[in-house]
Amino acid sequence: MGTLVPMKHMDTLLERNRAFARTDAKDRVPAVPFIPNRQLVVLTCIDPRVDPAQVLGLELGDAIVVRNVGGRVTASVLRDLEWISHLHREKTPEADWFDIAVVHHTDCGSALFADETLREQFARLGHHDSVELAELAVVDPAKTVAADVETLRAAPLLDPASAVTGYVYDVATGLLTEVV
């Protein structure tokens, strides 16, 4: 197992954090953590090029951001969103409902799940289900985003008052296009 090695890249960030703590950004956040300032949930890829804070100009407290490989609606994502819905229903029924934006993007690394050799090797090493991994591949983002929006719209524990929309982000142009 790993020995403790100093992190090369955190020093600058810790400095930035101290500067951040001196601003009033942290005082403009929502009072209830599942009622973000813009009542929005954004689901997108972990790819550093698609950071929604930058791409969508989100400020601290604006949205609940969920990220995984591809920005896919997995069982774990679904459970998180259903949990937020449940909290909303039980704890803050009078508040506005949140909307959900699913963003897939061009040139997504998840497309490599479609590479059989890579995927089979990874599935073997990590004891993962190769068929499930293959389904995560974002090869055609307009197609996968539509499928994931469909899944969310059909999810029984998500409130129908939550509008679910899907977008494709083009990493070359920086533009977001609405798909569904």
State the amino acid at position 63 in one-letter form.
Answer: A
Report the nearest approach of Zn ion to the CB of residue 49 (Å): 8
5 Cβ contact partners less than 8 Å away, ≥ 6 residues apart: none
Instruction: Considering the complex, state which of residue 144 and residue 162 has its C-beta at the smaller distance from Zn ion.
Output: 144
Binders of Zn ion in range 30-89 (CB under 5 A): 45, 47
Report the nearest approach of Zn ion to the CB of residue 127 (Å): 24
- For the chain, the straight-line distance linking the first and the last C-alpha, in angstroms and rounded, comes to 46
State the amino acid at position 162 in one-letter form.
Answer: S
Q: Convert 63-103 into a string of H (helix), E (strand) and C (coil).
A: EEEEEEHHHCCCHHHHHHHHHHHHHHHHHCCCCCCCEEEEE
Report the nearest approach of Zn ion to the CB of residue 143 (Å): 15
Instruction: Considering the complex, state which of residue 60 and residue 134 has its C-beta at the smaller distance from Zn ion.
Output: 134
Instruction: Considering the complex, state which of residue 161 and residue 175 has its C-beta at the smaller distance from Zn ion.
Output: 175
With CB under 5 A as the rule, give the number of residues binding Zn ion. 3
148 lies in the site for Zn ion, by CB under 5 A: no
Query: What are the b/e assignments for 77-105, b being 16+ CB within 10 Å?
Result: beeebeebbeebeeeeeeeebbbbbbbbb
Instruction: Considering the complex, state which of residue 108 and residue 158 has its C-beta at the smaller distance from Zn ion.
Output: 108
108 lies in the site for Zn ion, by CB under 5 A: yes
- Where along the sequence are the contacts to Zn ion (CB under 5 A)? 45, 47, 108
